[in-house]
Amino acid sequence: MKKVTTILCYLLIGALAMAVLAGGAQAQEKKYVAKLADVLTPDHPHTRSWVYFADKVKEKTNGRVEIQVYHSGQLGQTKDLYLGMQMGNVEMAKLPTSFTGEWIPEVYVFDLPYLFQNREEMWRVFKSPVGTKFFNEIYAKQNLVGMMWADDGGRNIYTVDKPVRKPEDLKGLKIRVQPSAIQIQAINEMGGIATPTAWGEVYLALQQKVIDGAENSPVLFWTSRHWEVCKVYSMTQQFWLPTPLMASKKWWDSIPKDLQVQVKAAAAEAEKYFIQIYTADEDKALGWAKEKGVQIITDVDKQAFKNRIKPVYESFGKKYNFGNALLEEVQAVNRK
């Protein structure tokens, strides 16, 4: 009897051990899925970079983390995506600073016109302690985790038929802008009539002459087909805007630390990939637009525009108690 009892004990211990091992294996193989959303089309460098990121995540985590990319506003517009991340319906999204300042006013510093002279200056800030501060402190207050930086290129003014070389050329022209008080004031100070318009309505508004022009990057000018209506693209470069990829902190915290490391490594590779393809697409977009009969204006008097936008900086400093100090941090990066 004692021998039988001993055998039964061994069998019970073995069964428990197998159950524990099975449970551990099951936990080890648990899959984590994230919906990554953007409002732009599949051919845009942003979307292509997110797909690249998703592929790298799958590769580095051996399929344990799956990033599902939703483009073209399939999960809503930018405001919807931000709210979705707060509610847990969306795990990742591109959040352009111009659209998120309502909740994260510090990001409005990037809306200031002529803050950067070129992409190099902008990226120098992204990769500086200031960029780290945004990801680790400022965005973190809104339960967001920075995955990678991206940008939307230098934004320029384009019109149906009028070149813009100096502020006087903008007089009386209704120019579409993003829903940012800073951008609205900037275009007004530059000489135009800022007209906030939903992105999906811009083409028709241009076609029906509800607005006279818009401002955006060469890539979006091309992919939106606005070149079909607007035949003059002036290189004013008044805005250089960040479009970072963010993750919901709730989702991020649900992932084991080892997988977080691998996802961040994938993001770092995707960031480099983005810079590579975006700059190439920028050159191509201007070339293609020119082939379609668009006049590219390069002899723009940027200094004349810069002289007129000083009130925008003054308003920013007065409106936000952190304004002047944060602006100094950003500007100091490129003075070194």
Stretch 201-227: mean pLDDT, rounded? 97
Does residue 329 lie within any of the structural domains? Answer: yes
Express each pLDDT in 178-194 by its tens digit.
989 999 999 999 999 99
Query: Is the Cβ–Cβ distance between 101 and 180 less than 8 Å?
Result: yes
Residues 105-153: tens digit of each pLDDT:
999 999 999 999 999 999 999 999 999 999 999 999 999 999 999 999 9
Q: Is residue 183 part of a domain?
A: yes
- Is 7 inside any structural domain? no
| Predicted pLDDT at 199 | 87
Torsion of CA 316, 320, 321, 327, to 10 degrees: -40
- Residue 49 placed within a domain: yes
For residue 242, what are the β-bridge partners?
151
Which of 106, 121, 80 lies closest to 182 in space, CA to CA?
A: 106
Sequence letter at residue 100: T
Residue 15, in any domain of the structure: no
Q: Using 50, 70 and 90 to split pLDDT, how confident is the model at 2?
A: low
Cα 18 from Cα 23, distance rounded (Å): 8
Residue 7 reports pLDDT greater than 70: no
Range(s) of the domain holding residue 248? 30-333
Express each pLDDT in 292-307 by its tens digit: 999 999 999 999 999 9
Whether 13 is covered by a domain: the verdict is no
Nearest to 44 by CA among 222, 268, 242: 222
Distance between CA atoms of residues 22 and 186, nearest Å: 62
Residues 214 and 206: beta-carbon distance below 8 Å: yes
Q: What are phi and psi of 233, to 5 degrees?
A: -120, 110
- Residue 209 belongs to a domain with what CATH number? 3.40.190.170
Measure the CA–CA gap between 187 and 244, rounded to whole angstroms: 24
- Residue 166's nearest CA partner among 306, 301, 298 is 301
* CA nearest neighbour of 83 among 32, 4, 143: 143
208 part of a folded domain: yes
What confidence tier does 19 reach under pLDDT thresholds 50, 70, 90? very low
Domain count within the chain: 1
Inter-axis angle of helices 310-319 and 323-333, to 10 degrees?
A: 130
Residue 39's alpha-carbon distances to 108, 137, 158, in angstroms, are 20, 26, 22
In a domain, 257, yes or no: yes
